[in-house]
Amino acid sequence: MVGPLRPQFVLFGSSIVQFSYSNQGWGAILADLYARKADVVLRGYSGWNSRRALQVLDQVFPKDAAVQPSLVIVYFGGNDSMHPHPSGLGPHVPLPEYVENMKKIAVHLKGLSEQTRVIFLSAPPINEAQIRETLSGRLGTLSRTNECCGIYSEACLELCKEVGVKAIDLWTAIQQRDDWLNVCFTDGIHLSSEGSKVVVKEILKVLEEAEWEPNLHWKSMPCEFDDDSPNNPVSPVGKTTLRVADINLHREIEWD
């Protein structure tokens, strides 16, 4: 560990999480927004389903850890929604089991501490034609449909209501863009920079509206070592220095 100790935000999920630092992904955007405010920790496992996540839950989130995360963002569902393989192998998880797995994950995470907040991301849509074009040669036939993603997405939203967890409907949010099929994916499944922007927008909306104490929206959190100093850059008037920690000098998007 290095100090000072910051709030910890953990991203836990399958490839949508593991790849979230690539291609100007949503994990990288969050890490940038929360620089000097929270440590964004990646726990993404490409190809995983809710069944595998449940098997390692105690190892990734031990209840006796000295420090517990302030926020956990969870995504599983897309791989679960794939059609079952005749061999019995593969990531498919029947819908009732998926729901129970995700409920158990939610209960475990909520029990880590009184200050641990949880957000679930539902399964995003997919571009079936793009998948056939880009992935079939590398991964074989991928038996997944946008319709099944929608079914698992809706199940995720419903179970979150039952267990009292904030949920983001990615399946609907991404498809609200008229051009979503053309710009939101790198391969039909995984998110492009445009797809990731939708994810970040929805996460920030939840964090801004949630009645959590302390507030976890990036603009509400204190910035580390933000005290005024004569060593800061000098202002244009030449008589004072600038507190540059929260000045946007590099982002192309002004995030709310």
Q: Which are the catalytic amino acids? A: 14, 187, 190
User: What tokens were used for 117?
Assistant: 């907040």
Instruction: Please choose, from the candidates 194, 225, 219, 222, the residue with its C-alpha nearest in 3D space to the C-alpha of residue 207.
Output: 219
Instruction: Please choose, from the candidates 152, 93, 95, 87, the residue with its C-alpha nearest in 3D space to the C-alpha of residue 124.
Output: 152
Helices (H), the chain: 15-18, 26-33, 50-55, 57-60, 95-110, 128-134, 136-139, 146-163, 170-175, 180-183, 193-209
User: What tokens were used for 44?
Assistant: 């993404």
**How many whole angstroms separate alpha carbon 143 and alpha carbon 90?**
10
Tokens 């496992």 locate to 45
**How many whole angstroms separate alpha carbon 149 and alpha carbon 9?**
26
**How many whole angstroms separate alpha carbon 222 and alpha carbon 25?**
24
**187 contacts 131 by C-beta, under 8 angstroms:** yes
